[in-house]
Amino acid sequence: MSEPIHEDERFMAAALRLARHNLGLTSTNPSVGCVIVKDGAIVGRAATAPGGRPHAETQALAEAGERARGATAYVTLEPCSHHGKTPPCADALVAAGVARVVVCILDPDERVAGRGVVRLREAGIDVDLGILGEAGERVLEGYLMRQRNKRPHVILKLAVSSDGMIGKEGEGQVRITGAISRAQVQVLRAETDAILVGVGTASADDPELTVRLAGLEERSPIRIVLDRRLELPIESKLVRTARDIPLIVVAGGADIPSPRPRGEGPRRADEGPGGSDSPLSSGLTRGPALSPHAGRGGDYANRRAALEAAGVEVLCTDTISDLLTALASRGISSLLVEGGARAARDFFDADLIDRILLFTGPAAIGESGIRSPFERTSVPPRFTLRRIARYGDDIFEEYERDTGCSQA
């Protein structure tokens, strides 16, 4: 007999909390949560382990042991049905004698795509679908975007002064928001696969782009710098920490010599002299060109060699769209764009922003400020305000792209 709906929602909510806990740690696999329930009590629980294995279901079943027989399993994503580096989770649920499986979201991976549910039902297991589906879409949004649209889910974070500025000319990092907002950004970084800035921001601010909250230091995301001429200083904090925390420098375009094949990679013009308004390269259909093919020859080759000797990975491609495709092919499901103004504008021009997190501080910067691409009164109409909150003296607003505007 089926569990009451409110019980299903309660236990699925617990599974979603588990899944959220390991966001940013499980690439290339999604972070999945699973709870095993017997006689109204949780007897096994797990999330996908860091690195993507073991899967949530097998860990939860191991904790439940014999108590899994006749139990109900709540899983945030359809159990896999294919043989990869681990056996199918659907088979593990069957072998454990689970009587019922409640699934939040069907897996769009073409290797699964409903086959996990079919396998369970063929074994006589009762399967219910779609419990807390909207919440599940949110927790799994990065993975779902990567599977459905072949790119990461892109979040733009902006800290804007009361007069619409994101910084001050020639002054490097300027604190616009308070401690609570900055802590929220650290949590966001910890849940994200990769973080991106332009070379102007990287050079002016000399950030590390790491997670600095106590206990979460090991959750720093992959760092990405858009730098078509490879101008990132070799003595920067980003380069000096590249052997400890991965750093990708995205250098375009297609005709610049490549010392060694590294797969994909793009680069987009960010702050700094010489913006990127070049036409698209032949065969590309979307997004501003990442490079006017500057920086050819020995200087470029020497800069690249120096960066790579320091442990930096250099990728080459021509458009932001290509960059996102390249990142998705590496299993990167979520990308946080943190700056600066040019990087934000270029992602908007390519229509490849899915969520905007806007932190507005109480102080003004004045005439020497760097103007934000937009502020509270000028968010593009294709985005809908989903949440507003106060963090101390700051105003936080979260905007999501309207579903009908979602881009591949």
41 is in an annotated binding site: no
What SS3 state is found at 262?
coil
Peptide bond into 54 cis (omega under 30): yes
CA angle 324–404–390, rounded 5-degree value: 80
- 7, 9, 57, 134: the catalytic one is 57
Neighbours of 396 (CB within 10 A): 17
- Which two structure tokens, joined as six digits, stand for 224? 């990405």
159 annotated among ligand-binding-site residues: yes
Q: Exposed, middle or buried, 254 (CB in 10 Å: 0-12/13-18/19+)?
A: middle
CB burial of 187-213 (b: ≥16 within 10 Å; e: otherwise) equals ebbbbbbbbbbbbbbbbbbebbbbbee
Q: How far is CA 14 from CA 20, 42, 44, 137, in A?
A: 10, 10, 12, 15
> Does 189 appear as a known binding residue?
yes
Active site residue 57: yes
Side chain identity at residue 176, one-letter code? I
Q: Is 316 annotated as a binding residue?
A: no
Q: What is the secondary structure of 32-55 as a DSSP string?
A: -EEEEEETTEEEEEEEPPTTS-S-
Q: Is 212 annotated as ligand-binding? A: yes
Identity of residue 299:
D
Helical segments of 65-159, H only: 89-95, 115-122, 133-139, 141-149
Task: Enter the tokens of residue 190.
Answer: 């910890």
Strand pairing category for 100-105 and 72-77? parallel
CA distance 216 to 219: 5
Cα separation, 86 vs 196, in Å, equals 32
Residue 153 counted as an annotated binding residue? no
**Whole-number Å distance between alpha carbons of 148 and 195:** 21
Bind-site residues for Zn(2+): 55, 80, 89
Q: What positions carry a catalytic annotation? A: 57
Bind-site residues for substrate: 189, 209, 212
Bind-site residues for NADP(+): 159, 201, 205
Bind-site residues: 55, 80, 89, 159, 189, 201, 205, 209, 212
